[in-house]
Structure 1
Amino acid sequence: MFTLTCIGVGNMGGAVARRLVTGEFDVTVYDPDEAAMDRCVESGATKASSFEEAVRSGDVVLTSLPTTALVLDTVEKIAAELPEGRTVVDISTIDPGTARRAATICEEHGLDFVACALGKTPAHAEQGAIPLFVGGAPDVLDALEPLFERMGEKTYRFDDVEGATAFKLVSNQIGMTNVVTLAEGLAVARGAGISPELFTEALKDTGAVSFQSEVRLPWMLEHDWSSRFGVDLAAKDVGLALDTARAQGLDTPVSTAALEQLRKSSAQGSGREDVVAVAKLYAEGSEG
């Protein structure tokens, strides 16, 4: 079994690291946040004392980072430390262009690169109940199959790193636009005098039911803004999806409107709260 290093163990990266270490993988973690590393150590991971130590200890290095710039910067640093023949697996949400640049950096240093985008929430990831959207060389993906089997319940293989990352962006574009629409619909229902309980139950029996209504609507109703996937991250991902669409010459007015609402929510102080906090925009007395 190969050794793993996880660089970036925040909400999603940490959940993945803890899932892997309880599956008998030898996992080393590194993150600037000591508390994030400590949560992984409690599950059995080894805490590296430095970035360089972490990278050199892994046959496979997983990266989970919040921005495309940080992904590229980190991949550059990994490539300078990691011996040839090893593999970098990025589980961040990035755009196809960034994925290709990261793959090129790795290729120039004799390393393999795999884009491995993840679906659902950190809670699902910690249980291995997530889909994986992977792209890379077929032989490298074959070698990583034990890793994928432990990380998630189903792996979808795309032709290349661009396809895997583009799909993830489209998924988040649809999902986060759905969250904004759900918040608007809830506000309209409340204005019509429909109780939250009836709204929830009746919605389940319609074509409007979705993963977001099943998972996030209860948080929305309870005003539970605890961050699982923050407003700022949602805005970042939708923005990357729309950049990808523009590069294809596509107009996306509905998702663009949703992005405006996410940015407005962030501007009102909810950037680090869960994306369901966009519902605050529709609270009584607020501008919608």
Structure 2
Amino acid sequence: MRVTVLGTGAMGAGVAQSLLREGHEVTVWNRSPERAAPLGGHGATVATDAATAVERAEVVLLTLFDTDAVVDVLEQAAGDAPTDAVWVQCSTVGVEGTETVVQLAEKYGITLVEAMMLGTKAPAEQGKLTMLAAGPAEVLERIDPVLRAIGAKTVRAGARVGDGTALKLAANAWIASITAATGQSLAVARALGIDPALFLQAIDGTASDSAYAHTKGESMLAGEYSAQFALDGLRKDIGLITDSARATGVSTTLLDALGRVYADASAAGHGSDDIAAVGTAFTKD
């Protein structure tokens, strides 16, 4: 299929590579051109502007940072894509942001669905994301070859654009919690005078085990924070989750604490590092 990827940060670039590997005809664009240029070497067409990027697209993926970016790009390009193109909202923009995007889609008469991406940089590059899809079933069927190229599985969250966002916010609340909890447990073990690696050994294979705790815990132990999921990106998502919880009457006690912990790590200079760097918030120099 002819697929345009608008936004080639860590996730968008990985998605583009997976699409190319599976034989799709891929056009990419990024507001910072230097972020898109390397994909030309992998076989993608690198567009100079968003409008040109979507001119021949059958599927347009929005893989951008926040609501403002999605709105800006839609305003630039919505009128230039073929009328039968399917626009796929992949950006984590929260409940209110999604409502804004839906309204814009209606304004421009474009077909919009969701395919939120659960995973980080490496799974995006490997085509092993979990896709959280929402929208009319017949439209999702049309883009199934794209979803299969970038994801190991697709979870249908519902028929309404916004159901995928709801599931993504719930999933990212879990990711934020388990990563911070791993950092806390390692810090407690270290402070009490034992090798913190013993914590990971202790939970290994038990009912409380988590592969994610090992992945992020090993990064924490090594002090290696090469970004798979940037800490400030998850901070943004925690804010969206907190806003949604507050608006629907869900307690934000844990979310408020998570927000503070990730903010502390960011303030210490780890905003662009991997979310594993949240472990630094539990230790004192």
> TM-score per shorter chain, which class?
over 0.9
Q: What is the alpha-carbon distance in structure 2 between the residues aligned to residue 185 and residue 45 of structure 1?
A: 44
Q: 1:12 — aligned with what? A: 11
Q: 1:230 — aligned with what? A: 230
Count of paired positions: 284
Q: 1:132 — aligned with what? A: 131
RMSD: 1.6
Q: 1:161 — aligned with what? A: 161
Between 1:191-200 and 1:8-17, the stretch displaced more is: 191-200
Contact 2:52–2:80 (CA<8 Å) still a contact in 1? no
Quote how far apart the aligned CAs of 1:30 are.
0.6
Q: 2:283 — aligned with what? A: 283
> How high is the sequence identity, in percent, across the aligned residues?
31
Quote how far apart the aligned CAs of 1:182 are.
1.0
Q: 2:116 — aligned with what? A: 117
Q: 1:103 — aligned with what? A: 102
Contact 2:26–2:45 (CA<8 Å) still a contact in 1? yes
Contact 1:115–1:134 (CA<8 Å) still a contact in 2? yes
2:57 is aligned with 1:58: yes
Q: 1:239 — aligned with what? A: 239
Q: What is the alpha-carbon distance in structure 2 between the residues aligned to residue 168 and residue 150 of structure 1?
A: 20
Q: What is the alpha-carbon distance in structure 1 between the residues aligned to residue 78 and residue 32 of structure 2?
A: 22
Corresponding residue SS for 1:42? helix
Q: What is the alpha-carbon distance in structure 2 between the residues aligned to residue 35 and residue 73 of structure 1?
A: 19
Q: 1:46 — aligned with what? A: 45
TM-score (norm 1): 0.93
Q: Runs of 4+ in structure 1 displaced over 6 angstroms?
A: none
Q: Deviations over 1:15-42 (max 9, x none)?
A: 0010001111000111133342233222
Q: What is the alpha-carbon distance in structure 2 between the residues aligned to residue 144 and residue 205 of structure 1?
A: 38
Quote how far apart the aligned CAs of 1:148 are.
1.1
Q: 1:170 — aligned with what? A: 170
The 5 A counterparts of 1:130-279 are: 130-159=129-158, 160-279=160-279
In structure 1, list runs of 5 or more residues that go unmatched: none
Counterpart of 2:29, as a letter, is Y
Q: 2:30 — aligned with what? A: 31
Q: CA 1:162 to 1:178, structure 2 compared with 1: closer, same or farther past 3 Å?
A: same
Q: What is the alpha-carbon distance in structure 2 between the residues aligned to residue 59 and residue 218 of structure 1?
A: 42
Counterpart of 1:249, as a letter, is G
Counterpart of 1:152, as a letter, is G
In structure 2, list runs of 5 or more residues that go unmatched: none
Quote how far apart the aligned CAs of 1:121 are.
1.2
Quote how far apart the aligned CAs of 1:196 are.
3.6
Counterpart of 1:156, as a letter, is V
Corresponding residue SS for 2:198? helix
